Amino acid sequence: MDGLAAGNRVIIGGQWGDEGKGKIVDALGRGVDWVLRYQGGANAGHTIVRGGEKIVLHLVPSGLLSEGVRGYLGNGMVVDPWALRDEIIELEERGVKVRGRLFISAAAHLLMPYHRRIDECLESRRKRRSIGTTGRGIGPAYVDKATRQGLRMGDLLLPKENLERRAIEKILEANEALAALYEAEPLSAANIAQELVVLARSFAPMIVDGHEALAGVRLGRETALFEGAQGALLDLDHGTYPFVTSSSPSIGGALTGTGLPPRCLGEILGVYKAYCTRVGNGPFPSELLAEEGDALRQLGGEFGATTGRARRCGWFDLPAGRFTAEFNGMTGVIITKLDVLDTLPEIKVATGYAVDGGVLDRFPAQGDLLARCKPVYRAFPGWLQPLGACRALADLPAAARSYLEFLERELATPVVGISVGREREEMIWTPGGVSV
Ligand code: GDP
Ligand code: IMO
Ligand code: MG
């Protein structure tokens, strides 16, 4: 079948990000009225491959590559207007019309150049204990939001002089903090404020009152696909703190980050790789090191879509996956990159952790405990044949089906989609799950 039945859906990364959410949103985006981003910012890198051509989106919702879809950047986001301008220019040069189809909540926060600078300074001060952020200024922008000092997209609608004055004030304040805390060079307040005024003029037609803009979704007259960024294990509250991002990539973020009520969410689909990756620092019990990790990285092309960094690679972590499926209330899971395992004679899954003399079968909330966990593996035979051309469950070799059935059973959630390549069509849809 061609995709899943029509209706609203939330797409959530079930691991540490880069699960292939962009591809899935693109595949499910056809025919929906809205694709909504609800958290994060340009730290996201969502890749879509069409006819061999690769497009990486950071702020613009992945659904915009489908005709007739409108995109929305929710109040829960931190939007870097410089990055957004560049992304729109690049997309329009490649023939994707963005203007007139992309709307931004007036309550979304502005991510300013000083946020990037502070992000860099904080990271270099943390030295060996750094988080390994994307350097996009995300944490500092959310700090300003939480301390009620931020500028918002709606401020771009202020009269030119007022906006310029407010921006200069903020930049000068940031310069003071940069000098006092990090002995960092000041940013040019006048230049940045003037650039912002120019950007404000070009973004003004896109800035909307979110409550009004999404009225059709609220009333059930329009459909929405919520595009989560990052992954549930990077959630500020529920993830592997402090090695997390500063937003809520989980189900709660879909509500607070759009202002839509729970009944608008529809299905909650978790996207998981058939193995696991993490970029940045922090515990990762099923990580493969040295040659084993390198081999998986090469097979999966695991290099960051935003920063180009080599992603840490390892086996599927069941306690972690079960945890994210449970706390997000996932109604279905989509397993991506199954084809990456095509040539491996043996595939492992971490089913629990050996720690402190015992075995733990759940994901521990305490970071220091997780850091001591050693994986307990169950091995599966590989299928040793290419899956790229499979389009139905029946096309998959028995070994691949057993692996998926095991994941479905252990995650206690139906596997509703299996991705076997980078292109939109390289998918197997299994709305009824994979176990017969
Ligand atoms: P996202 O951040 O979750 O959207 O994921 P990224 O785009 O950062 O990383 C996923 C990478 O895997 C991209 O390069 C995709 O083109 C690629 N990809 C997605 N699904 C598949 C798949 O099923 N098979 C293969 N081989 N690559 C895939
Ligand atoms: P997508 O949407 C993978 C990671 C960073 C770092 C931590 C904090 O493409 O899946 P931040 O810049 O957010 O303050 O960094 O979070 N991180 C991601 N890892 N995919 C992402 O996005 C990520 N966005 C942030 O590497 O460990
Ligand atoms: Mg990514």
What would the mean pLDDT of 187-196 be, rounded to a whole number?
Answer: 98
| 239 Cα: distance to centroid of ligand 2 (angstroms) | 12
Q: How far is CA 104 from CA 154, 216, 379, in A?
A: 9, 16, 47
DSSP 152: B
Q: Which of 327, 349, 340 is nearest to 409 (CA)?
A: 349
Q: 303-323: per-residue pLDDT in tens?
A: 998 888 999 999 999 999 999
Q: CA neighbours within 13 Å on the CB side: how many for 423?
A: 10
DSSP E strands, 58-98 = 70-73, 78-79
Split at pLDDT 50, 70, 90, the class of 188 is: very high
pTM, full prediction? 0.97
Q: 196-241: per-residue pLDDT in tens?
A: 999 999 999 999 999 999 999 999 999 999 999 999 999 999 999 9
| 115 Cα: distance to centroid of ligand 3 (angstroms) | 21
Residue ID of nearest Cα to ligand 2 atom 20: 17
| 436 Cα: distance to centroid of ligand 3 (angstroms) | 33
Could you list which residues have their CB under 5 Å from ion ligand 3? 18, 45, 305
Output the ligand 2 site: residues, CB below 6 A: 13, 16-18, 43-46, 131-134, 136, 138-139, 229-231, 234, 245-246, 279-280, 305
Q: 230-280: per-residue pLDDT in tens?
A: 999 999 999 999 999 999 999 999 999 999 999 999 999 999 999 999 999
**Which residues, including other chains, have CB under 8 Å from residue 416's CB and lie 6 or more apart?**
4, 269, 332, 333, 334, 429, 430, 431, 433
Question: In the annotation, is 317 catalytic?
Answer: no
What would the mean pLDDT of 423-434 be, rounded to a whole number?
Answer: 97
What would the mean pLDDT of 19-35 be, rounded to a whole number?
Answer: 96
Question: What is the model's pLDDT at position 347?
Answer: 98
Query: Strand 53-57 vs strand 46-50: parallel, antiparallel, or unpaired?
Result: antiparallel
Q: How far apart are CA 111 and CA 166, in angstroms?
A: 14
What is the position in ligand 2's atom list of the atom closest to the CA of 40?
13
Q: Give the CATH architecture of domain 9-100+210-429.
A: Alpha-Beta Complex (3.90)
Pair of tokens at residue 4: 């899943």
Residue 152 near residue 107, CB atoms below 8 Å: yes
Question: What is the model's pLDDT at position 305?
Answer: 84
421 lines ligand 1 (CB under 6 A): yes
| 415 Cα: distance to centroid of ligand 1 (angstroms) | 18
Split at pLDDT 50, 70, 90, the class of 5 is: confident
What would the mean pLDDT of 3-32 be, rounded to a whole number?
Answer: 95
Q: 102-159: per-residue pLDDT in tens?
A: 999 999 999 999 999 999 999 999 988 999 999 999 999 999 999 999 999 999 999 9
14 lines ligand 1 (CB under 6 A): no
Question: What is the model's pLDDT at position 138?
Answer: 98
The best mutation among 15, 120, 133, 134 to test binding of ligand 2, ranked by most ligand atoms within 8 Å of the C-beta, falls on 134
Write down the CATH number for the domain with range 109-205: 1.10.300.10
Question: What is the model's pLDDT at position 149?
Answer: 96
37 lines ligand 1 (CB under 6 A): no
Q: 66-116: per-residue pLDDT in tens?
A: 999 999 999 999 999 999 999 999 999 999 999 999 999 999 999 999 999
What would the mean pLDDT of 378-399 be, rounded to a whole number?
Answer: 98
Q: Does the pLDDT value for residue 2 go beyond 70?
A: no
151 lines ligand 1 (CB under 6 A): no
Question: What is the model's pLDDT at position 128?
Answer: 87
Q: Does the pLDDT value for residue 410 go beyond 50?
A: yes
Question: In the annotation, is 46 catalytic?
Answer: yes
| 279 Cα: distance to centroid of ligand 3 (angstroms) | 10
Domain range list for the chain: 9-100+210-429, 109-205
Q: Does the pLDDT value for residue 1 go beyond 70?
A: no
List phi, psi (to 5°) of 264: -85, -5
351: part of which helix (H) or strand (E)? strand 346-355
Amino acid at 165: R
